[in-house]
Amino acid sequence: MRSPGCGCRVPPHVCAAGRLGETAEQESRFDPGVLNKSHPDYPILARIAKDVKERLGRRAKAAFAERVLEAVDFVLDPQRTARTEIDDLDRVEKAFIGLKVEHFVRDLLDAPLGIRRDIELGGMDVDIKNTIRRSRTWMIPSETYSREEPVLVIASDAKLRTSSMGVLVARDAYLGAENRDRKRGVLSSAQSNVFWIIEDMPWPASRWDGIDMVRFRDLRTSIRKGADRAAAFFRENPDRPTHRSVLLALLHDQNDPMKRLRGNGGARDALKREGVVLLSRRYGGKFLETIGRPIGKDEFIALKPDDPDVIARLQADGRLP
């Protein structure tokens, strides 16, 4: 049937005109008060949303986006495959991203397994479904929609580098026809019934952004000594904050790999002789802030300063010859 006023092919209580509620402040998406209490799904969605909010805490959005990116990078495996974009993956690998996102988000929520479904939230069995399609087409299995059970839905946009998480009840009226596996997709006209707990949260910057992955792999195999390999990397990537995880991948075959970055024969000494200073948040963080170049936790950066005052300060500290 067509819902009056909007023309969509769903019952009146599931059409856009009866959507769960909107607010300009995304954080208030956690507040069950933004839902239309007359909506038949309100008691279930509000209960699950409240549990998710309590489990995620204040860092809800950032922690969620970080876990999604970790799952994506896990499948891309850039240090071994040189791939940094989801478009580089085949169909099976893209499906595997969905599985890892589900695992990582379940770990983030630290909720018990459900009796029949992926997770227990608000005292209810909840399925978890993820999509990286811009159409946000979640495929719901028959064991979930046959009972019209709740689903924690996750949607990621690889182009925009954003992710969203919400809750939906798998009502028969919200779903399309069965496919060969008896799964049914959520209708676009029914997506207004998703309670978006986190909406369009940007991913953090990828630790691999800007790195020539072909050259990165070449460095790993062409230079045997770890200190020389690290020095070569920083020569080729000056003035670029680099995370510890990238360097561990670069020095994958070294005993005590981080030692290869230090003085006493490490990359720091080799670069120092060339007028390049290798600093980390721990070793030079305050100095970097004073020159307007703060870096993140567990990051390193190689600088070749040309400002006489900066050079003098580094020489006074023994960081440059």
The whole-angstrom separation of Cα 61 and Cα 29 is 11
The whole-angstrom separation of Cα 178 and Cα 195 is 24
**Residue 65 near residue 201, CB atoms below 8 Å:** yes
The whole-angstrom separation of Cα 30 and Cα 56 is 11
The whole-angstrom separation of Cα 261 and Cα 8 is 62
Cα of 47 vs its chain's centroid, Å = 25
What domains can you pick out in the chain, each with its CATH number? Answer: 12-202 (3.40.600.10), 213-316 (1.10.10.10)
The whole-angstrom separation of Cα 125 and Cα 105 is 16
The whole-angstrom separation of Cα 253 and Cα 28 is 48
Residue 15 neighbours by CB distance under 10 Å: 21
Q: Which pLDDT belongs to residue 279?
A: 94
Q: What is the pLDDT along the chain (321 residues), one digit of tens a residue?
A: 333 333 333 333 333 333 333 333 333 333 433 457 788 998 999 899 999 989 988 777 889 999 999 999 999 988 788 788 888 899 899 989 989 998 999 999 999 888 899 899 999 999 999 998 877 889 999 999 999 999 999 999 988 999 999 999 999 999 999 999 999 999 999 988 999 999 899 999 888 988 999 999 999 999 999 999 999 999 999 999 999 999 999 999 999 999 999 888 899 999 999 999 999 998 899 999 999 999 998 999 999 998 899 989 989 888 888
CA quadruple 309, 311, 315, 317: dihedral positive or negative?
positive
Q: Which pLDDT belongs to residue 242?
A: 95
Q: How many helices (DSSP H) and strands (DSSP E) are in the chain?
A: 11, 11
Provide CB contacts within 8 A for 21, sequence distance 6+. Answer: 34, 35, 36
Between vectors from CA 229 to CA 227 and to CA 235, what angle results, nearest 5°? 100
Residue type, 279: L
The whole-angstrom separation of Cα 298 and Cα 283 is 10
